[in-house]
Amino acid sequence: MGRGEREAVARGTRLYEAARNVVADHDGAVAAVRAALTPIHDAAVRRELDAIPVTRLQDVTEGRLRLGGVEQSGLRTVGDVLDAGPYRLRQIPGVGQRTVDQMLAAARRLSDAVHETVAVHLDVDRPDPGTTALVRALHVLVEAGPEARRAVDRAAALAERLCPLQAAAGPAAGRFRMLLAGREKKARARAAVTELRSLLDEAERAELPGLFAQASVDLLRGPSSDLAAWADFELRSADYYGLLAEISGRAPDTAAAEGFLPDEIAERVRTQHLDDTHRRVSLRGYQAFGARFALAQRKVVLGDEMGLGKTIQAIAVLAHLAAEGQSHFMVVCPASVLVNWTREVEARSALRVLLLHGPDRHDAFADWKGRGGVAVTTFDALRGFPAPGGGEVGLFVVDEAHTVKNPKAKRSQAVARWAEYCERALFMTGTPMENRVAEFRNLVGMLDDGIAKALADGDALAGSVAFRKAVAPVYLRRNQQDVLTELPSLQRTDEWEELSASDEEAYREAVRSGNFMAMRRAGYARPEGSAKLERLREIVEEAAENGQKTVVFSYFKDVLQVVRDALAEAPPDALADGTAVFGPLTGAVPAARRQRTVDDYAAAPGPAVLLAQIQAAGVGLNLQAASVVVICEPQLKPTVEHQAVARAHRMGQVRPVRVHRLLATGGVDERLVRMLERKTRLFDAYARRSAVAEATPDAVDVSDADLARRIVEEEQARLGVPAAWAATAE
């Protein structure tokens, strides 16, 4: 053997060491998280045990213990009993060894249960050295992202293949070693070198050396400061909590995360492979299961409660099918979420996405037919496209699928026709369908006619377990309270909407007049065609379907009145589904009356909507009854938005808070968001934590007049609109 063989062995050694280093770097990052988490978790467990009265030990032992003497001795909680230990417990009058053994066994059972269930919550407003260390450790893994995780997985697999080859090829590493080796060892070395070269070539083609090097750099790079880590945590808290749940092993209840599916279906779903090659986002366990469910069952309804990431699960399915060689996908959704879909697919995957909307939609459809990708269109536009041939479309996705429950509607008929010709279909709806069997049967009928015909009206009456068993082959639904136990209580979503024709006309008039404030509220100037108002209605209706309360914020009184008129139907103060509407709260409403309105809103049974001017309700009121927040337009001062959201996202809130900010593409909203985002994350985080900023938010924000004038002038230039008069911020 000559120089070529020695070089191959040397290259194999370098690649093997790089692979092992990546795995070791990842293991080190995970170990750092565990080391930081342990004292925080132990302290949380201790607080829980100190809050459990000693009488609970009777429940664990089914009333067999007599604890009067124990309480009289000063041991009030389960934590006290564990601290006391057997010696002190035996000193209590009337307590014998058998009672001591039973008491400690019961206390340890409760302690074990608390260890398994207690969740660590990170308070961004009150960081301490312990939680800061945990956030810094998590930051390394979050910042490294799913690419590093993929690199680690590939490194582990490669190292496993390289290890025996390197050992067998060892004699070829040196001339004298080869001379001294026996015939059998030489033969094994030659064969190993041949296989090693093939493996090295394969690794080079996959660019694994570069991938491993970058992953190691990312896994060893920490945040620049504590403040940087906390600022990133605030922006991407779901990623941090997802990693925390995975590393701690305190995941949601498996049965709940799997939608209480029958064992045979759940097992088939668990064994379904999920390829992440084209995906750019990590999945939580229940999300990965949802994607596998869609793949294993082929035609399904994903009915997860709003806020659980149905779109991400759909993108995971698209990415997997693309990795298998599928090239054409179709997504149909309401016009109000078209932009969100295109942005999510672009941000969360490497897939090509095309918008089939507007006057050029047929040209875009032809482009999609020829080149493939993820086509995103509306229900109305879908009716104008020819149904696909068999096997042509890898996945047909229908968002807000409950809107096609009426089989007589033309949009429903178009969806049914596409679903029939597609081998795979994924219907998504956050609206609970369990008690609407007739409507649900119509949806299921588009996917599996046999199950639909077998679904009787009495199945829902028999209880959710019976209903889910009947529809299990095609239906998966999970609730927030079952699967989001480790997530923070705040999730933000920017809802990007395309202006309708009437919106665009109103916006141009505002730009022409140079009226900045009119530009900001142009999306509501003509309610009958308002894209923002349509999306707001959908959010409120879906929250109502899930029994949740909503608060709607706007800077403008007239916008709130438009929203009220749109929501308030007969009777005057209620939606058709019984959702009460309160407000609007404005600066003109006396403080005492504002609080009474909030109290009435909180006390209202079932879903309700509170309308509030953001300056008036953003400070001083507790709105923790709300779990859905809608901000009608971006605010000039980020602190105003943060303070308003904080009214709902505060102690006493028992459900995750979802914040939807309604934004219009291509105009003042987009420019405002972009300009305000230019401020660094660190300054933004610092300002929001500053006592001065809390008291006087105006002190840390950009000049309203300068910002307004600049945006008006840029919009006039972009639209080619001659100014009627000078730009004004009024």
Average pLDDT over the chain reads 84
Residue 577 pLDDT > 50: yes
Quick: pLDDT tens for 498-537: 999 999 999 999 999 999 999 999 999 999 999 999 999 9
Kindly state the average pLDDT of the residues 356-373.
96
Structure confidence at residue 728 (pLDDT): 53
Give CA torsion, residues 455, 457, 462, 467, to 10 deg.
Answer: 30
Kindly state the average pLDDT of the residues 617-644.
76
| Under 8 Å between Cβ of 378 and 411 | no
Q: In terms of DSSP bridges, do strands 328-333 and 373-378 run parallel, antiparallel, or are they unpaired?
A: parallel
Q: What are 552's strand-pairing partners?
A: 611, 630
Quick: pLDDT tens for 15-44: 999 999 999 999 999 999 999 999 999 999
In order of 512, 513, 517, 654, 727, the CA distances from 716 in angstroms are: 7, 10, 14, 46, 9
| Same domain, yes or no: 206 and 300 | no
Residue 593 pLDDT > 90: no
Half-sphere exposure of 558 (CA within 13 A, CB side): 10
| Same domain, yes or no: 351 and 442 | yes
Q: Phi/psi at 454 (nearest 5 deg)?
A: -80, -10
| Same domain, yes or no: 526 and 479 | no
Domain boundary among 428, 451, 483: 483
Residue 542 pLDDT > 70: yes
Structure confidence at residue 131 (pLDDT): 94
Element (H, E) at 378: strand 373-378
pLDDT class of 440 with cuts at 50, 70, 90: confident
Kindly state the average pLDDT of the residues 587-605.
82
| Under 8 Å between Cβ of 499 and 665 | yes
| Under 8 Å between Cβ of 195 and 27 | no
Q: Is residue 728 a part of any domain in this protein?
A: no
| Same domain, yes or no: 233 and 353 | no
Which residues, at least 6 apart from 126, have a Cβ–Cβ distance to it below 8 Å?
Answer: none
| Under 8 Å between Cβ of 623 and 651 | no
Q: Is residue 85 a part of any domain in this protein?
A: yes
Residue 561 pLDDT > 70: yes
Q: With 0-12 CB in 10 A as exposed, 13-18 as middle and 19+ as buried, what is 501?
A: exposed
| Same domain, yes or no: 39 and 171 | yes
Q: Which residue has the higher pLDDT, 4 or 313?
A: 313
| Same domain, yes or no: 573 and 470 | no
Query: DSSP string covering 294-319, please?
Result: HHHHSEEEE-PPTTS-HHHHHHHHHH
Number of residues that make up the chain: 730
| Same domain, yes or no: 458 and 513 | no
Kindly state the average pLDDT of the residues 305-325.
92
**How many other β-carbons are positioned within 10 Å of the β-carbon of residue 300?**
25
| Under 8 Å between Cβ of 429 and 475 | no
CA 509 to chain CA mean position, Å = 38
> Residue 417's closest CA among 373, 386, 392, 372?
386
Structure confidence at residue 683 (pLDDT): 34
Q: Which residue has the higher pLDDT, 587 or 352?
A: 352
Residue 428 pLDDT > 50: yes
Q: In the numeric block, which tokens belong to residue 508?
A: 């141009």
> Residue 255's closest CA among 472, 545, 12, 35?
472
Structure confidence at residue 699 (pLDDT): 33
**How many other β-carbons are positioned within 10 Å of the β-carbon of residue 648?**
28
Q: Is residue 478 a part of any domain in this protein?
A: yes
| Under 8 Å between Cβ of 67 and 57 | yes
Quick: pLDDT tens for 393-418: 999 999 989 889 899 999 999 999 99
| Same domain, yes or no: 269 and 244 | no
Structure confidence at residue 432 (pLDDT): 65
Between 243-247, 467-471, 484-488, the lowest mean confidence (pLDDT) is in 484-488
Q: Which residue has the higher pLDDT, 611 or 223?
A: 611
CA angle at residue 729 from 726 to 730, to 5 degrees?
100
| Same domain, yes or no: 388 and 521 | no
pLDDT class of 331 with cuts at 50, 70, 90: very high
For 436-563, list the strands marked E by DSSP.
475-476, 490-497, 550-554
Q: In the numeric block, which tokens belong to residue 110?
A: 């409760």
| Under 8 Å between Cβ of 556 and 585 | no
Q: In the numeric block, which tokens belong to residue 324?
A: 């298998």
Residue 427 pLDDT > 90: yes
| Under 8 Å between Cβ of 49 and 41 | no
Which residues, at least 6 apart from 166, have a Cβ–Cβ distance to it below 8 Å?
Answer: 9, 12, 13, 16, 192, 196
Kindly state the average pLDDT of the residues 602-609.
88
Q: Phi/psi at 515 (nearest 5 deg)?
A: -95, 100
Q: Is residue 192 a part of any domain in this protein?
A: yes
Per DSSP, the three-state class of 475 is: strand
Q: Is residue 53 a part of any domain in this protein?
A: yes
Q: In the numeric block, which tokens belong to residue 149?
A: 């995780």
d(CA 312, CA 281): 8
Q: What are 397's strand-pairing partners?
A: 331, 426
Q: Which residue has the higher pLDDT, 229 or 61?
A: 229
Q: Is residue 679 a part of any domain in this protein?
A: yes
In order of 116, 317, 379, 400, the CA distances from 448 in angstroms are: 40, 20, 21, 19
d(CA 355, CA 245): 36
| H helix runs in 514-579, sequence order | 516-520, 531-545, 557-567
Q: What is the CATH number of the domain that holds 495?
A: 3.40.50.300
Structure confidence at residue 25 (pLDDT): 95
**How many other β-carbons are positioned within 10 Å of the β-carbon of residue 507?**
25
Find the largest Cα–Cα distance for the chain: 97
Q: Which residue has the higher pLDDT, 220 or 122?
A: 220
Structure confidence at residue 690 (pLDDT): 34
- Helices 129-169 & 208-220 angle (0-180, nearest 10): 150
Residue recorded with tokens 């219009």: 664
Half-sphere exposure of 135 (CA within 13 A, CB side): 27
| Same domain, yes or no: 145 and 282 | no
Residue 680 pLDDT > 80: no
Give the 3-state DSSP-derived string for 327-352, with helices as H, strands as E and coil as C.
Answer: CEEEEEECHHHHHHHHHHHHHHECCC
Residue 2 pLDDT > 80: no
Residue 295 pLDDT > 90: yes
Residue 653 pLDDT > 60: no
pLDDT class of 336 with cuts at 50, 70, 90: confident
Most confident of 64-68, 544-548, 551-555, 601-605: 551-555
Kindly state the average pLDDT of the residues 201-218.
92
Between 125-139, 365-379, 421-435, 637-651, the lowest mean confidence (pLDDT) is in 637-651
| Under 8 Å between Cβ of 688 and 519 | no
Quick: pLDDT tens for 215-259: 999 999 888 889 889 888 877 777 888 888 888 876 667 888 898
Q: With 0-12 CB in 10 A as exposed, 13-18 as middle and 19+ as buried, what is 336?
A: buried
pLDDT class of 696 with cuts at 50, 70, 90: very low
**How many other β-carbons are positioned within 10 Å of the β-carbon of residue 88?**
15
Most confident of 483-487, 548-552, 590-594: 548-552
Residue 701 pLDDT > 70: no
d(CA 149, CA 157): 13
Domain boundary among 250, 283, 315: 250
Structure confidence at residue 423 (pLDDT): 94
Most confident of 8-12, 244-248, 520-524, 567-571: 520-524
Domain boundary among 209, 234, 250: 250
Element (H, E) at 720: none
Kindly state the average pLDDT of the residues 557-584.
76
CA 474 to chain CA mean position, Å = 23
Q: Is residue 729 a part of any domain in this protein?
A: no
Structure confidence at residue 660 (pLDDT): 94
Residue 641 pLDDT > 60: yes
Residue 685 pLDDT > 50: no
Report whether the peptide linkage leading into residue 39 is cis, meaning its omega lies within 30 degrees of zero. Answer: no
Kindly state the average pLDDT of the residues 709-713.
87
d(CA 545, CA 207): 49
Kindly state the average pLDDT of the residues 675-684.
49
Structure confidence at residue 362 (pLDDT): 96
Element (H, E) at 579: none
Q: Which residue has the higher pLDDT, 663 or 170?
A: 663
Total number of domains constituting the chain: 3
Structure confidence at residue 419 (pLDDT): 96
| Same domain, yes or no: 225 and 297 | no
CA quadruple 69, 73, 79, 85: dihedral positive or negative?
Answer: negative
Q: What is the CATH number of the domain that holds 404?
A: 3.40.50.10810
CA quadruple 723, 724, 726, 728: dihedral positive or negative?
Answer: negative
| Same domain, yes or no: 532 and 641 | yes
d(CA 139, CA 153): 20
Q: Which residue has the higher pLDDT, 720 or 124?
A: 720
d(CA 647, CA 653): 10
Element (H, E) at 660: strand 657-664
d(CA 529, CA 579): 23
Q: In the numeric block, which tokens belong to residue 88?
A: 């002190």
Q: Is residue 725 a part of any domain in this protein?
A: no
Structure confidence at residue 41 (pLDDT): 93
Domain of residue 165, residue span = 1-250
